[in-house]
Amino acid sequence: MNYSLEEFDKMKTKVLKYILYKKRTEKEIRQKFIKEDEHILEDVIQYLKEAKYISDEEYISRAVNEYIVLKNLSITEIKYKLYTKGIEKDLIEQYIDNHEEELLEYEKNSLKNIILKKSNSEEKELIEFLLKKGFKRDTIKKVLDERFNEDE
């Protein structure tokens, strides 16, 4: 420990302000404070993890719930958004596995919403668009088949 308690508290306050404004991942915190003393930052991050202010597991849960409420995404897009926040692949995969049923239902509903919004599109264009967004071909086909069976 090559720093004072005052320096630690000052850094802790800075980091706390940053994460209380909006929940952040550990990677986001490290990027934001990259120019700060890395020893102090390391200790502050460890302290805040122990105090449960920083938790990538909790971040995943909050972010996914936010996506479910606000967006129409595929599971692949959700994973990508979480990867870009610097969350470990294993944590993301574990969350997806533990919530597979509800996420598959969400993905199916997202697909229905997108198809409804793009109902004027040609089917081939629509399928290409949905594939680019990370939806699986068999899920797209299933939802499209359901839609056309409802219309009959």
Q: In terms of pLDDT, which residue wins out, 151 or 39?
A: 39
Answer yes or no: is pLDDT of 58 > 90: yes
Q: What's the pLDDT at 131?
A: 93
Answer yes or no: is pLDDT of 2 > 90: no
Q: In terms of pLDDT, which residue wins out, 3 or 30?
A: 30
The full set of domain ranges for the chain reads 5-54, 57-151
* Per-residue pLDDT reduced to its tens digit, 104-117: 999 999 999 998 88
Mean pLDDT over residues 90-109, rounded?
A: 95
> How far is residue 61's CA from residue 47's CA, in Å, rounded to a whole number?
22
Mean pLDDT over residues 86-109, rounded?
A: 95
Q: Which of 5-14, 40-49, 132-141, 142-151 has the lowest mean pLDDT?
A: 142-151
Q: Which of 137, 69, 68, 115 is nearest to 96 (CA)?
A: 68
* Per-residue pLDDT reduced to its tens digit, 8-20: 999 999 999 999 9
Q: What's the pLDDT at 149?
A: 67
Q: What's the pLDDT at 143?
A: 87
Answer yes or no: is pLDDT of 151 > 60: no
Q: What's the pLDDT at 10?
A: 95
Q: What is the mean pLDDT of the chain?
A: 91
Q: Is residue 80 a contact partner of residue 134, using CB atoms and an 8 Å limit?
A: yes
Q: What's the pLDDT at 1?
A: 67
- Say which residues have a Cβ less than 8 Å from residue 11's Cβ, sequence separation at least 6: 33, 36, 37, 40, 41, 44
